[in-house]
Amino acid sequence: MGLICDPEELRTLFLFEKLDDEQLAQLCAVGEIVYIEPGQVYREGDPATCFYVLIEGEVRLTKLSGGVEIEVNRTDHRGVYAGAWMAYLGDKVSQDYAGSMYVERRSRFLVLAAADFGRMVTEWFPMAVHLLEGAFFGGQKSSQRIAERERLLALGSLSAGLTHELNNPAAAAVRATAGLRERVAGMRHKLKMMAEGKFPADALVQLVELQEQAAERVAKAPDLSPLEAADREDALADWFTDQGIADGWNLAPTFVQAGLDIDWLEGVQATLESCRAQVFEGAIRWLNYTIETELLMNEVADSTTRISTLVGAAKQYSQMDRAPYQVVDLHELLDSTLVMLNRKLGDGVRLVKDYDRTLPPLPCFAAELNQVWTNLIDNAVYAMNGEGTLTVRTYQENDCAAVEIGDTGPGIAPEAKGRIFEPFFTTKPVGDGTGLGLDISFRIVVNKHHGDIRVESEPGDTRFIVRLPLNPQAESAEQ
């Protein structure tokens, strides 16, 4: 049974102190005074059916973060309210409890049905409702428009970087193709000489075998330091000169790059020892064309593979032709983002990847998570001013996959640390940032994935840690 509602007692609560006698009487008529025992009153995500006003007692309010309840407020202040406080907006917004409420000790409340509370606010304060509605939806729309602009700016920056990255291997492939054309023309000239009988038949057979050996050696050529390569080129150029081969210094780099040394060339000389000297020199130049052709074809293959890798990374990053909500390998998302941001990293940033490959696949909105990684990595590189170490680490923490983006920049000032997730707050100079990157990241991680994002920072070590539930609630896939 409900308790007696005293209008004069309600007038002592800050929420109702400006109401007239008739309005207070209506509150008592439709509301109910109840005692609630310690425990949970309502749960986050459930339909918001009631509006609660504390008359005496103590309440605790919580929010879910990464599957864990985080206390956001604990108070015994008379008149504090919670529950269906946005009922006056009706079906224009989702009418679910935004958090959970607990009673810490036996407490007395005025409880209003959500429909009654919404009706009274609309009837009593029509101008205020219009102002609040305008502020709410106007702010929501402004944030959405600016967020879209933020995404377009990021996309433009990534597109410019991708274009640059694609241009390099494409240009290399074009150069290699032009070089191949020249080498093939030279080989046709040598074939003409062979057809004219300048090479004995037995020498031709041996030369074709040597050609095959040279091609195999190219595929297994060792990686040499610049100093080692220079020493071998000098020795080989001298050897060519000793054998009476003109422009030996011009041939030496090609043979060294292919991993062919003096011992191998002396073997060639021994194989062709029955031939005239000019035949030996012709054989060397024929082999040079063969090696250059193999090297150029390798360059074309490497360039086209690089282009294919970049296009694949762009497709992975954008999640083109894929469902918005899917089960993915978290590391594929991170790697595609790093490929897209490779140009921003530059030569001064050392990348360290510390992946826990035992992490199970993650159900998520993949394209939106890529936006989170982009924001965090871009901020880290900016903080280091192009010089330092970027660390991308993954691991499992309880029932969550954790992603840590770390940098060795100057750190976040203590006075800014508590505000970095606020919309429009930025520590960057005017024109360098909109202050929405971390706000967007927060909403994607916390609101859309029911995860958690936090920061730990000191000079030389700043880390943003994102935690994402590995077994999210089913409703996540329907948002």
Q: What is the SS3 assignment for 325?
A: strand
pLDDT single digits (tens) 298-324: 777 777 776 766 666 566 565 555 567
Helices (H) and strands (E) in the chain, counts: 14, 13
- Indicate if the alpha-carbon torsion angle 269, 274, 276, 278 is positive or negative: negative
pLDDT single digits (tens) 428-444: 654 455 455 787 788 88
Homologous superfamily (CATH) of 7-124 is Jelly Rolls (2.60.120.10)
Q: For residues 13 and 54, give the distance between their C-alpha atoms in angstroms, rounded to a whole number.
A: 9
Q: Where are the domains of the chain?
A: 7-124, 162-309, 323-478
pTM: 0.47
Lowest mean pLDDT among 14-28, 41-55, 205-219: 205-219
189, 192, 197, 198: CA torsion to nearest 10: -10
Local confidence band at 203 (pLDDT 50, 70, 90 cut-offs): low
Query: Looking at the DSSP assignment, which residues form a beta bridge with residue 362?
Result: 328
pLDDT single digits (tens) 131-179: 666 666 665 665 566 555 555 555 555 566 566 566 666 776 777 777 7
pLDDT single digits (tens) 5-25: 999 999 999 888 889 999 999
Higher-confidence residue: 394 or 365?
A: 394
Beta strand 461-469 with 50-65 is: unpaired
Exposed/middle/buried for residue 96 (C-beta within 10 Å: 0-12, 13-18, 19+): middle
Q: For residues 234 and 251, give the distance between their C-alpha atoms in angstroms, rounded to a whole number.
A: 11
Vertex 34 angle, CA 28 and 40, to 5°: 130
Q: Is 67 left (phi over 0), alpha (psi -120 to 50) or beta?
A: left
Q: For residues 367 and 372, give the distance between their C-alpha atoms in angstroms, rounded to a whole number.
A: 9
For helices 262-271 and 201-219, give the axis angle rounded to 10 degrees: 160
CATH number for the domain formed by residue range(s) 323-478: 3.30.565.10
